[in-house]
Structure 1
């Protein structure tokens, strides 16, 4: 049975239910400030008792105040009753003024005869929510970009007066590369490394902060300290971030809007009346770290009453070329503070702190030292020869990931950096004894999934992959927080399914897809890193397996969130990119220079096989998903025809029908990726599928159940083996403890996923080899989200060898899905929770359909039987199944 083509159940009975809308969001966010979308989209989750409940209609009200949210009083917009089962992507169709808060609610009608009458009042109204627009077309008004020449990170300030009772105050600001914004001595938010990194010649993000509570009657001060980030990076590096189309010194634009109770509106904007000076942060670099001289600190500089007469007036500076847009994705925050598990004095005056986990972030220092004492903090993921290892051959200089603090000598001093982050587990402290704390820092995205299993390594892998993904979320999906901090497209290509299954990345990936579009060349080509300085169009490029993430990620966003607007917004850029890729096809094949990166035993580069094989396969998949996107949004295209031609070319060039495998002239031996990828992507001719799959399983077994895949093959190997009946082989690979394997890493002390299979892996916080977790979620726990924001799911735990129990809970855009199973002998219990709006096809392991009991049977309907599974199609509700003959 092929689950990809499932249709929602038509015969399952339904029950009249009260539908309760909860978890109201606007543009995927709860009560967002600064929405710049003219027609923001609403969503909600439907709760309902019983079984089989469905939504037949909804009504949305929008008003200027929550007390006006009734059909009779709503003064902004009333959708009326809309006959639709849709619970997300509901576009607001009322007026949208800049800087305005709109309150909204929704009620629902269930699908039943009683709800069809025109006089029916529908269900209960949801607890009201709201969204607040940003600057929209109004922009920054009279505000100008300001800056000035300073010998260190600049401090900027502006005094102003508040002369009444403030009803509301908002600060709209963008400081490049980063801005630590202050108002009356306090931070305006808990965001760090803000605003988000973009291609600044196309897009510049601004933040919106509610600062009402920070204002005081009388004298006030707004200020900012600016860091360099990727906007003004000066550290010379191979990716040329120090020499981009936008590279410039830090600058700020801000607009503070103060609304009084009496109706007056005052504004404080950036202009020449602001004051500027160099502050105590002597240098900051994302790669090298920061130097802070506490003797230069200016206490109270960001508060009223400070004398700034010695400061210089700011200068109006050139604006970045990018368009200012409201930042819609989650900010980066300090997520957790961790004490070291051990601090060792390795030699006199040198200490190494082990924090027991590998993360992205920085160290908070507390020290008492004489004035002028320099305390250095060197961050790294490993220790060798009594030193924390901090090397980066791609960046000039011998100071890598090192912060320096120069003490003021004023007693107990506490400091932490604000304009750089590091990848580390260990910190080497020199200069004076001190207290150290790890600050875990990443994009503050919500968890979507929890997983448990009786097989401890599976839980260990899931926790490690989650930590690794989070460590690489800093406004963009990076490859490693230690070395590059670059948005490698290939890493996201292989990691996206696991990432989306683990975390709520709707806003995060929407932003990064915009970065991809911004990075596109006039020719249609995309680089291998996004954003880019211009590097990656000819450097390690073209590499088809990398930028083909563009259509694949768009399709994945539709699978998880049903986001068809995103598909439409990117269609033109997507088709230009694919036209460029097709234009360079030679002899039916796509040329690629990267291939199956970092397989075991081949050093620090690509796999030895002909990289046209994987390049062509990934272009084939890109064309197939682009054709699906075109069909979804009504855009005719010929991508399926082009995909079929590529499949023919790949099979002619690399399929050895006599041997029953794919191979190239460069192969030193059998290459698992070369066979797993065509199987996974549906390229193998039907008459050869079983032979190719059998050959793959035989090779894995011949290697003692070891893989020989790099980053492209690792994520598809186990799912392919399981799909074609070799689940036991897949399990033995997953639970392998000797090299190369995940178990090998963890026996060496790993707590995250590594870049390489070898024990000398350069990066130890790199998610692209950790995609075994997708197989754990989909095959061990058995949950597969099929399409359209979880409209269809398949429950099929078909990798149960060596496992007695597993459970997964996922928060989809439609609501919570849970799958939990436990097996004792041949008796298997399977519990499934399905949200309203989702249809689940549940495959219960069994020898015969008669051996399975379903509760409640009256709503489960009549099952079918398919190759060892009794199959039920069910709608919303909590279902329990018991099999007496699970093998």
Structure 2
């Protein structure tokens, strides 16, 4: 390949996956950037990082904190800072890059600011007190100079609405994030410099219960968790003056407390707010709090206080109704036209004492919004109540609970309502388009479903449970990571998994947990084996070696527990392929040891890979081989060339697709097992019979073994059971069940067809090490004329776009610096493919109906004159 001179420009500078993060608690935070260059084949050969106390000092001659020097390396992420790290300090940094022949310019400076580190909360104490409603806490203080910087470090459990001088200190909601509070408690850093003022000031907080102090009795025993207690707050406000003085305001017994207007709040039942009890100005100077009580110093939670590093939950969008219907006098049903997670904002002019109820649900039945939950005691589910003050136009929205819904039933008085879409504020990284409209519809629905289930943890449903089911994330993680930037989000949840581990090494089926899920619906191998799988996926997408090292000990303890209970080469599981068609209330009828063993096999294989990556010798591959032998010995019908169990009422697609997908099938049986799978799908009229475990692997397996046309017919099926069936019924999100009476209609674990759409229809597959290698192979082209995908990886933008006209296929590929792409162009022979620019494309190889090019950074175009 000819050489080319390219000047590399570093862009998108980040620290610990975040742009300009506040409150970094990592002693050696990691830097990353995206290297950008024109032309073809550009590579980074070295970098130099400067860190300084001020941006104007970022030169090699004056950088006063750290200079990495010229480091010979192609790495663009995961580079550890090796300078001093003082608490509560802002550090500015920049980087320049070398290509083989030139050195580039310094990047536009960025910065990161450390949190409390080992300094902690100092004299601050946890405070609270007994109140008859959600507590309000306040403390006055005086500012007597010009403020250079002010930071509020705070944790309010379960949630804190923090205020300073009458204003919110942040646009985050439902903050801080949910954790196993007996292991970890998150605090948040807020820049409040612009909110403090000369003279009198007031800092305040209203506290909600969240999962920390939940009182609604429920089957998961959140009301009886080891940490359960009334709300409490710890805070440290640090005010730095231009003259060098530093003042602090900390939580202690001098704070004042009273019960506020939020009479009750529950994540399951909603909130009741009595506007007549509102105290205007309570969070601002000049308010008389003499009738309030002194706050009580309360017991600290057992969890270690740690800076919150993942994205906060925010109100993402405000949506007006598409239809409002008065179904009977004084009762209105509001349709927002989409199924989401969040809440409603109410505006009314009702008389004082009028109670307006807002009942949220995903469906309407018999003239009412359906809102029920057999897992939570009582008949009040997802219902907010607002008691009017009668002061004119009143506007209110909840702050300590969220709901899953499309419809809202308004009763008590007329009111205008708006939908507030609420989820973790993660970035979208992928755009997909296709001439096959259902594919776009599925992708958009899956995206909305995933976002609806991101609230500090990956949940199963925003309506019913709000639990972090490990099996859901297991099957959904590849699609989730391909759709959104979840580096920080999943790093946090992996910490939750570690925190939830029992002394025995066992992991529960929900994370975090109150203790439920170790014996309840457990052991279920297919669920907590998400632990090694997700670690490996984080390495695939982000090249995160630190995560692998940090979790290795906990991972090995978990796998030891799993291996210790293997019987006759099989893993016992009680859940299996959850919710296949016709079994809408539980698992499929096949022997669950089949899927349990298969998932443990994959977990051991990826754990072996993790060990190899970080230099930890292990015997996991040998253990995996033993499981494969046990599974094949017990379930492979060698005469029929299929997997079956004595419990099967008929052919089970999951039982055959999963062993194929995980590489368990002996080589001499692969072709027969795949053919049998395709034949069964066709015999069912191109319908699936898989639950959540099989649905994500069925279409990729069919396509990989030459049955892409069969996979396409399943994907585009419109009759039950299928995705098209849902959408013909009016779905706009993915459902929990294939049946039309699906309990949850915002459930991503059956929507993993989108992974196949990305990888096989659009043809983009991220292979390894933070997108260091990608494969472009659009091998599911039936019934579609074009498709495109654009993804912002940790190395930069990857894009694939193809279009076919007759037998001519045009394929465009964008490859970032640091990535190598194996581009497989559909063709009958290599001579039928043209590459532009040919001079840089190298010599292709040919095999199995594809001409294969290996290319580096650049914009590449390929034309095939013989694509089928």
Deviations 1:245-293 (A, max 9, x none): 1000000000000000000000000000000000000000000000000
- For 2:6 and 2:197, how far apart are their aligned partners in 1? 51
What is the distance in 2 between the residues matched to 1:866 and 1:208? 56
1:42, distance to aligned residue in structure 2 (A): 0.1
Partner of 2:163: 182
Render the CA deviation track for 1:40-63: whole Å, top value 9, x for unaligned.
000000100000000000000000
Q: Does 1:444 align with 2:431?
A: no
Who is 1:36 aligned against? 25
Tell me what 1:872 maps to. Answer: 853
- Correspondence for 2:34: 45
- Counterpart for residue 736 of structure 2: 755
Q: Could you tell me which of 57, 77, 80 is aligned with 1:88?
A: 77
Of residues 377, 386, 394, the one that matches 1:413 is 394
Instruction: Look up the SS of the partner of 1:232 in the other structure.
Output: coil
Q: What is residue 60 of structure 1 aligned with on the other side? A: 49
Q: Which runs of 5+ in 2 are unaligned?
A: none
Distance 2:259 2:296 in 1: 14
Other structure's SS at 1:842 match? strand
Residue 465 of structure 1: aligned partner:
446
Deviations 1:71-127 (A, max 9, x none): 0000000000000000000000000000000000000000x2x35xxxxxx210000
- Give the distance between the partners of 2:422 and 2:301, measured in 1 at CA: 27
Tell me, in whole angstroms, the C-alpha distance in 2 between the residues paired with 1:343 and 1:603: 32
Give the match's secondary structure for 1:822: strand
Alignment of 1:326-337 (within 5 A): 326-337=307-318
Q: Matched residues in 2 for 1:451 and 1:50: separation?
A: 25
Q: CA deviation at 1:13?
A: 4.0
Shift of 1:162: 0.3
- Aligned to 1:622, the other structure's residue is in SS state helix
What's the CA shift string for 1:127-166, capped at 9, x where partnerless? 0000000000000000000000000000000000000000
Shift of residue 16, structure 1, vs aligned partner:
1.7
1:205-230 C-alpha deviation (Å, 9 max, x unpaired): 00000000001110000000000000
* 1:15 and 2:4 are equivalent in the alignment: yes
What are the Cα deviations for residues 375-404 of structure 1, in whole angstroms up to 9, with x where unaligned?
000000000000000000000000000000
Matched, 1:256 2:237: yes
- For 1:352 and 1:584, the matched residues in 2 are separated by 52
Q: Give the 3-state SS of the residue equivalent to 1:346 in structure 2.
A: strand
1:239 matched residue in structure 2: 220
Equivalences for 1:255-294 in 2 at 5 Å?
255-294=236-275
Aligned to 1:9: none
1:664 to 645, 649, 652: 645
User: What is the CA distance between 1:790 and its match in structure 2?
Assistant: 0.1
- Equivalent residue of 2:693, what SS? coil
CA-CA distance at 1:866 after TM superposition: 1.3
For the residue of structure 2 that corresponds to 1:158, the secondary structure is strand
String of CA shifts for 1:660-698, please: whole Å, max 9, x gaps. 100000000000000000000000000000000000000
SS in 2 for 1:242: helix
1:453 aligned residue: 434
Q: Distance in 2 between matches of 1:326 and 1:433?
A: 44
Indicate the residue corresponding to 1:474 in structure 2. Answer: 455
Shift of 1:602: 1.0
How far apart, in 1, do the equivalents of 2:579 and 2:829 lie? 45
2:557 is matched with which residue: 546, 559, 576?
576
For 2:687 and 2:319, the matched residues in 1 are separated by 36
- 1:241-640 correspondence to structure 2 within 5 Å: 241-640=222-621
**Alignment partners' CA distance in 1, 2:565 and 2:337:** 48
- How far apart, in 2, do the equivalents of 1:603 and 1:719 lie? 24
Shift of 1:14: 3.6
| Aligned equivalent of 2:663 | 682
Tell me, yes or no, if structure 1 residue 100 matches structure 2 residue 89.
yes
1:192-243 alpha-carbon deviations (Å, 9 max, x no partner): 0000000000000000000000011100000000000000000000000000
Secondary structure of the residue that 1:600 maps to in structure 2?
coil
- Distance in 2 (CA, whole Å) between partners of 1:93 and 1:660 is 57
1:650 partnered with 2:631: yes
For 1:128, which of 103, 106, 109 is the aligned residue? 109
Q: What secondary structure sits across from 1:511 in the alignment? A: helix
SS in structure 2 opposite 1:425? strand
Distance in 2, matches of 1:273 and 1:262, equals: 27
Stretches of 4+ aligned residues off by more than 3 angstroms: none
Q: State how far apart, in whole Å, the 1-side matches of 2:21 and 2:585 are.
A: 44
CA–CA separation in structure 1 for the residues paired with 2:3 and 2:596: 48
How many angstroms apart in 2 are the aligned matches of 1:603 and 1:678? 24
Unaligned runs of 5+ in 1: 1-11, 116-121
Give 2:750's aligned residue. 769
The residue that corresponds to 1:163 in the other structure is 144
Partner of 1:807: 788
Aligned residues: 868
Distance 2:694 2:2 in 1: 43
The whole-number CA distance in structure 1 between the counterparts of 2:716 and 2:583 is 23
The CA distance in 2 between the partners of 1:16 and 1:77, in whole Å, is 30
The offset of 1:39, in angstroms, is: 0.1
Give per-residue Cα distances to partners, 1:751-788, cap 9 Å, x unaligned: 00000000000000000000000000000000000000
Distance 1:588 1:17 in 2: 56
Partner of 1:736: 717
Aligned residue for 2:737, secondary structure, equals coil
Deviation, 1:595, is 0.2
In 2, distance between residues paired with 1:180 and 1:758? 41
User: What is the alpha-carbon distance in structure 2 between the residues aligned to residue 603 and residue 232 of structure 1?
Assistant: 33
1:361 CA drift (Å):
0.1
**For the residues of structure 2 that align with 1:325 and 1:572, how far apart are their CA atoms?**
21
Q: Distance in 2 between matches of 1:604 and 1:28?
A: 40
What is the distance in 2 between the residues matched to 1:473 and 1:383? 25
Aligned alpha-carbon RMSD (Å)? 0.4
Deviation at 1:603, TM superposition (A): 2.5
Give the match's secondary structure for 2:803: strand
Q: Are positions 1:137 and 2:135 aligned together?
A: no
1:6 alignment partner in structure 2 = none
Q: TM-score normalized by structure 1?
A: 0.98
Cα deviation, 1:434-457, whole Å, max 9, x if unaligned, reads: 100000000000001000000000
Give the distance between the partners of 2:350 and 2:850, measured in 1 at CA.
Answer: 69
